[in-house]
Amino acid sequence: MNDLKKHKIQFTPSVPVDYLHDESRKTGTADAIAFPQTYEESSTLVRAAAASGAKDITVQGSRTGIAAGAVPDGGVIINLSKMDRIDSGRADAEGNAYLRVQPGLTLADLRRHLNTFSVPGIAQPAKWIFTPDPTETSASIGGMAACNASGACSFAYGPTRDHVEALTVVLSDGDTLRLTRGQQKASGLSFSVETDSGLQIKGELPRFKMPDVKNASGYWIRPDMDLLDLFIGSEGTLGIIADVELRLRTKPPGTLGVLCYFSDESDALRFITRLRKAAPSAAPDLLTAIEYFDDGALALIRANAHGMGLLLPPPKLHWSFALYIEWALESGGEVPADLTGSLLNECGGHGSDTWVAADAPSMDKLRTFRHAVPEQVNAIIAERKRGCPDLTKLGTDLSVPDNHLLDVMRLYRRDLHKANLEHVIFGHIGNNHVHVNILPRDMDEYLCGKELYRAWAQQVVEWGGSVSAEHGIGRMKKDLLALMYGAETMAGMRRLKNLFDPARRLNSGRLFD
């Protein structure tokens, strides 16, 4: 570590324990840590780490990921949390708004800034929003880009990738790339990109087909692609995202939240299928989210409602399943009655089993409800780890095409019943992407659940789905990525990493060994 002390911005050899783990509950080791405040400082640190012979550089943001992507395995840590500056915005000729930020800025701080943000060059006053919405608002913007985070409203707006206009990337030798959407593109699968120092990086993208579903598994590759998209979702394995320009969206005049209950899961699934088909007829209003909660998830919420401040009515016996539906009311009016009333009644729901929120305080309550389940699951696992330290949550992140939604739900129910494992199912069912959270009590149940997870992943891949729709691969799902793409594609991804990181120093051990 002596070579690192020659630089103005330095690594600290004493690493606080908080920086050795993330929300995966996995813990690692590291020799030193540093907190740059500019992309120039992050570049200097990378050069220093390379010169010192550090075997691995772990890049961290807010450490909210659950795939152990921010957990170090020796080497040094570059934590970007102090790179949290917000620069001025801009407008293009069409009146679109953009905002450049540093990667350590949190989603919560970005949202607070946007409450009073105005765009130079746009005379008409407007409220602006950034639509990706992961559960943890403490997530950093750089981490969201590195993992292509999404959330409930990705049903309408897509993941983080769809809202990034430009990046500054620090490579593994400290050189930098500046990438702007539409300016650096592949020609077929061939590409060439120039760094700030004038170095040309040339190569071939691996040839494989990504599934046509919500997907955050491995590198995003398409012929003639924007090279910007190589780094979004690459989980820090190709370069360090050191600066991000975001594309904003005007805030809709109104938002409507609907929480409806069903006594039978088949009724809830039928309602989802019909609602997705009918929703386009509601234009200009936009169906932005469809979230699902099974009976186990509702039981967790009821058991902890007092502590979370949720104002829930007394549970009714027939409230076994719930859907949270959110609309962006671009017209400022109301969603057509046939989509909120008659369709619900035809599918086994009823107005007396439905809550509707149209004002900000009521919407906050429903959104708190939506985010309550993963928080309670994490609390349960944290408590069980006290008696069994090796225990972790088993949370699936699988997505399937529309025509296999009913199939995958039947698969989950059949196997969980047969294995008699405690579980809850919730999540982004609008994208055919629910999280099955298995809550093991001991290592035998953990291993049983892990076998189920792999078997489900195999079936989902055969149906044309993805092994990770939003959480990424990190350290924990490398075997599932290999299962999804096979040896040839994995070799192609490794070759691509070697072009940008020939020393295999950046976030090594993520995506593949």
The answer to whether the beta carbons of residues 441 and 390 sit under 8 Å apart is no
The pLDDT assigned to 241 comes to 98
- How many whole angstroms separate alpha carbon 272 and alpha carbon 294? 14
DSSP 347: T
Look at the alpha carbons of 231, 237, 242, 247 in this order and tell me if their dihedral is positive or negative.
positive
The pLDDT assigned to 337 comes to 60
Q: Is 340 exposed, middle or buried (0-12, 13-18, 19+ CB in 10 A)?
A: buried
The pLDDT assigned to 69 comes to 95
Quote the tokens at residue 365: 């309550």
- CA distances to 150, 238, 300, 425, 427 from 294, rounded to whole Å, are 21, 39, 10, 6, 10
Which pTM does this prediction carry?
0.93
Q: Can you point out the beta strands (E) in 339-406? A: 354-357, 394-395
Residue 296: which residues within 8 A CB-CB, separation 6 or more? Answer: 422, 423, 424, 425
Per-residue pLDDT tens listing for the chain (513 residues): 444 454 567 899 999 999 999 988 889 999 999 999 999 999 999 999 999 999 899 999 999 999 999 999 999 999 999 999 999 899 888 888 999 999 999 999 999 999 988 887 776 667 899 999 998 899 999 999 999 999 999 999 999 999 999 999 999 999 999 999 999 999 999 999 999 999 999 999 999 999 999 999 999 999 999 999 999 999 999 999 999 999 999 999 989 999 999 999 999 999 999 999 988 777 778 999 999 999 999 888 887 766 555 655 656 777 899 999 999 988 777 766 666 678 888 888 887 888 888 888 888 888 888 788 888 888 898 899 899 988 887 999 999 999 999 999 999 999 999 999 999 999 999 999 999 999 999 999 999 999 999 999 999 999 999 999 999 999 999 999 999 999 999 999 999 999 999 999 999 999 998
Region of 489 please: left (phi>0), alpha (psi -120 to 50) or beta: alpha
- How many whole angstroms separate alpha carbon 432 and alpha carbon 489? 25
Domains recognised in the chain with CATH numbers: 2-79 (3.30.43.10), 86-250 (3.30.465.10), 254-462 (3.30.70.2190)
The pLDDT assigned to 315 comes to 61
The pLDDT assigned to 2 comes to 44
